[in-house]
Each structure stands twice: as C-alpha cells, then as structure tokens.
Amino acid sequence: MDRRSVSTLRSSLAAPFSARLLDRLKAYWAALGVADPNLALALSEQTLRRLPDLSDEAESAARAIIAAGELLDDWLAAALDLPRPSPALTAARAALLSGAVPGWPMALFAPPGAAGIALDRLRTAIAEPTPAPSPGAMPAQRIEPLWKSL
C-alpha cells in the first residue's frame, strides 16, 4: 500500500459526515488490531478511496466497514496466494485477527520477503474445520413387521 497517496484525501474529507466516517473507520481498524493511530488513519483513508459515492450517510458507513474488510482481504489474498472470494480467505482473515500473528500491521507493510515468518505463522493458524471429504453410501435398511411375510 502507498501510504503517501492517502494524505491527499484528508482535505476532501472536511465535512462533518466524512469526519465521523473517518473516526468510525479508525475505530474499526483499531478493532482489527491496528494500534498505531497514524496507520489506522492512513488505512481508513485508503478504505474511503474505494467508495466512489458517499452521498447516503447510512449506506456509505456500512459500505465503508465492508470495504475495510475487503482491503484486508486483498492483502491476504495477494500474500497467501488465495482466490477471492473464498472460504479460505475468510479463514485467513479469522486467523489474522485471532492474535496468531502478533503485530500483523507491521508485517502488512513490510518489504516483500520480510514478512516470511509472519506469513508462515498465519498459514499455520488458518483453521481447518473438516478434512477432505471421503464419502460413503449409507442406504436405509428395510425393517418390516413379521406379519408382512405371512
């Protein structure tokens, strides 16, 4: 992510709604584990860039939260080479947010190749709820009363 490009957005978000939206997004990024306020702001602005239309306040706010998650998914998909959308990507997001990779925001912005350990940890932490299927047939048995044979 280019952190310099987001600063240009700040001037265009002076309106009260935009400020509220930005606050919300910052809070959300903090809940996702981004402790650095500057980074949270940068990510929030990056998120807002993804929303072309901010006219409907209520709708925009909800879309912004979803967009924040999608931003995270984009990085995860690229870093772990996962298709999107996919259950594996949702599982990767869960693994990231579980605390399995301490300080993940730093790994997020690390130069290519430097995030190896964090990514390994993340791969290990991705849940595998069920094994690959190996189906078998279980036909219903016939249970008939004795008198049917009479």
Partner 1 sequence: MTQPSSSSIGQTLRRVVFFLLVTVTTLVALGLLVSVFQTNGFSPMELLLLFLYTILFSWICISFWTAFMGFWVILFGRDRWAISRQPPGASLDLSAPPLRTAILMPIYNEDSERVFAGLRAIHQSLAATDSLDGFDFFILSDTRDPDVWVEEELRWQDMVRALDGKGRIFYRNRPENTSRKSGNLEDFCTRWGGRYRYMIVLDADSLMQGETLVEMVRLMELHPRVALIQTPPVPVNRESLFARILQFASSLYGRMFTAGLNYWQLGESNYWGHNAIIRIQPFLDHCGLPKLPGREPFGGEILSHDFVEAALLRRAGWEVWLAYDLEGSYEEIPPTLIDYAKRDRRWCQGNLQHLRLAFSRGFNALSRLHFLMGVMSYAASPLWLLFLMATGVEAYLQTQQELVYFFGENWQPVWPVSFAVEMTTVLLVTLTMLFLPKLLALLLLIKDGRLRHAYGGMWGATLSVLLETVFSVLTAPVLMLFQTKFVLAILMRKAVGWPPQQRGDHQTGFSEAALAHGGHTLIGVVAGTLSYFYVPAFFWWFIPVLLGLALAIPVSMLSSSMALGRQTRQLGLFLTPEETEPPTVLRDLEDSLRNHRPVLPVLREIPANRFLQVLTDPYVNALHRSLLPEREPPNKRRRHYLEGLIQQLEEEGPDSLNPAQKRELIADPETLLRLHALFWTRPLANAG
**Distance of alpha carbon 74 from alpha carbon 83, whole angstroms:** 10
Q: How far is CA 139 from CA 71, 132, 143, in A?
A: 47, 22, 12
Which one, 113 or 129, has the nearer CB to partner 1? 129
Count CA atoms closer than 13 A to 34's CA, side-chain side: 21
Which one, 41 or 64, has the nearer CB to partner 1? 64
Q: Which two tokens stand for residue 69?
A: 């998650």
Query: Which range of residues in 6-14, 34-42, 46-54, 140-148 is near partner 1 by CB under 8 A?
Result: 140-148
Which one, 24 or 49, has the nearer CB to partner 1? 24
Contacting positions for partner 1 (CB under 8 A): 24, 27-28, 31-32, 58, 61-66, 69, 87, 90-91, 93-94, 97-100, 124-125, 127-149
